[in-house]
Amino acid sequence: MKEKVTRKTCLSCGVCCMPPHYQDTYCDLTEKEVMRLGPKIRRLVMRPSLFNRCLSMIDGRPEVEAAIKTKTVMQRSGPFKGKELCMCALLKGTPLVSVRCSVYRNRPRTCHDAVNPGERACRDARKFWSDIAREQCGWAEDKGPVMLYRNTKKEPR
């Protein structure tokens, strides 16, 4: 069964705001976007080191101007209860239950472009994290009102 994923689903999801493995920063943004964030939030922005800037120049890669830091949060409830999750520092709430982005109206372009509700990247992220909830955190569908993929052999696309 193909799960219906809409913009509303994002409020009970948030998994595309979490990297699959630990990393210091998650979401790239431009200096212009940094300036749109309030001073309190600007403290959560990291600039590339001189070393990384030199590497970008040598490799010919576009230079990342800034990025939002991540935070590691121990989950007290929800499908990931008992697990520490690395996520964008601006994500609030419990992933796959109820979340919000602290800067939703001013969120960086990267967030608009990288993942859109219902698209492949979105479905892949939801599948990746729902498998972790089931296989590593013992979550089962009868434990809560979280819409996750069923554990069938057929991929839900």
Residue with smaller CB distance to ligand SF4, 1 or 50 = 1
User: What are the strands, taking DSSP E only, across the chain?
Assistant: 25-29, 45-46, 66-74, 84-88, 91-94, 98-101
Min dist. Cβ of residue 94 to ligand SF4 (A): 13
Q: Does 13 interact with ligand SF4 (rule: CB under 6 A)? A: yes
- When asked if residue 14 is in the footprint of ligand SF4 (CB under 6 A), the reply is yes
87 CB neighbour count, 10 Å cutoff? 19
Q: Residue 27, exposed/middle/buried by CB under 10 A (0-12, 13-18, 19+)?
A: buried
Residue 27 is a binding residue for ligand SF4 (CB under 6 A) = yes
- Kindly tell me which of 31 and 57 has the beta carbon lying closer to ligand SF4: 31
Q: Which is nearer to ligand SF4, 38 or 55 (CB)?
A: 38
- Measured CA to CA, the distance from residue 144 to residue 142 in angstroms comes to 6
Residue 41 host element (H or E): helix 39-42
Which parts of 75-114 interact with ligand SF4 (CB under 6 A)? 88, 90-91, 101, 103, 107, 111
What torsion, rounded to 10 degrees, do the Cα atoms 125, 72, 99, 105 define? -90
Binding residue (CB under 6 A) for ligand SF4 from 67, 73, 85, 122 = 122
To ligand SF4, the closest distance from the beta carbon of 54 in angstroms equals 27
- The token pair that represents 122 in the structure block: 């979105």
Backbone angles phi, psi at 17, to 5 degrees: -95, 10
Beta carbon of residue 122, minimum distance to ligand SF4 (angstroms, whole number): 3
Q: Residue numbers of the site for ligand SF4 (CB under 6 A)?
A: 5, 9-10, 13-17, 26-27, 68, 88, 90-91, 101, 103, 107, 111, 115, 117, 122, 125-126
